Amino acid sequence: MLKTFRSDIAIIRERDPAARGIFEIFLCYPGFQSIIVHRLTHKLWLLKLPLIPRLLSHLNRLFTGIEIHPGAKIGKKVFIDHGMGVVIGETAEIGNNCLLYQGVTLGGTGKSHGKRHPTLMENVVVGAGAKVLGSIIIGSNTRIGAGSVVVRNVEENSTVVGIPGRVVHQSGVKVNPLAHSALPDTEASVIKNLMDRIDHLENQILKLNKTIQCLVNSESFDITEVGDTQNIKDKEIIEFLGDN
């Protein structure tokens, strides 16, 4: 128990540059406090004591803003950063070295009494406000972008974004769990691809119209002189997508 306690402190000092000492972590980090209380309530839950684990879990929620069912399994070096609004369901399992941000939900689906909450393998990062729902498995070294909703299994070494969550990157390269700016902007990429395609099609239509007009008027023409359309340069699109 003491070894686990030390590892919980060590991961906070490693991942949060604002952590300046053990006493500050112990007194001012609700994520740390909630996990320490949960380790106690989980042991009581395994002893099948009625009501007491749930009552302690409820008090834990009142003081920290983090709701962890005493039946949930949490590994070592798990860090809940800030943590307000985090919900972890009864049959959820969290592996070692996972990182959860505020507003994360590891929720269940259905009314069955079996496994109905997600399992996070080791080194998973779940961004702020993300929802991981159902009895699914999130593979090791996976990053889930803020605000995503994940309802399907995710293989290891993946990056997941969107609603519903989509795997937008997969590799065996270990990533910095704090590098949120490295998440790809998939919506912007899709829109850019669509606009490029529209621009290409409009160019083809413009050239066809010019060709037909010249044929009707029996005029000679050079198809290479037909100008390009400029839809992709529209001011509104540039402002939305950025200059890049």
Mark whether 97 and 110 lie in a shared domain: yes
Mark whether 120 and 151 lie in a shared domain: yes
Q: Among 182, 212, 231, where does a domain finish?
A: 182
pLDDT at 54: 93
Q: Among 182, 198, 216, where does a domain finish?
A: 182
Q: What is the CATH number of the domain that holds 136?
A: 2.160.10.10
Whole-structure pTM value: 0.71
Mark whether 112 and 220 lie in a shared domain: no
Mark whether 178 and 192 lie in a shared domain: no
User: CB neighbours (10 Å) of residue 3?
Assistant: 8
Mark whether 171 and 134 lie in a shared domain: yes
Mark whether 15 and 53 lie in a shared domain: yes
Q: Give the three-state DSSP class for 227.
A: coil
Total number of domains constituting the chain:
2
Contact 80, 86 (CB under 8 A): yes
Mark whether 129 and 193 lie in a shared domain: no
More confident residue, 22 or 87: 87
Q: Which two tokens stand for residue 236?
A: 């509104």
Q: Among 150, 166, 182, where does a domain finish?
A: 182
- The Cα 191–Cα 83 span in angstroms is 34
Structural domain including 76 reads 2-182
Mark whether 204 and 175 lie in a shared domain: no
Mark whether 119 and 80 lie in a shared domain: yes
pLDDT band at 43 (very low <50, low <70, confident <90, very high): very high
Mark whether 96 and 64 lie in a shared domain: yes
- The Cα 180–Cα 196 span in angstroms is 28
pLDDT digits (tens, 9 = 90+) for 124-146: 999 899 999 999 999 998 888 88
Mark whether 176 and 212 lie in a shared domain: no
pLDDT digits (tens, 9 = 90+) for 151-162: 889 888 888 888
Mark whether 87 and 118 lie in a shared domain: yes
Strand partners, 205: none
- The Cα 123–Cα 28 span in angstroms is 24
Contact 98, 123 (CB under 8 A): yes
Handedness of CA 44, 46, 52, 57 (dihedral sign): positive
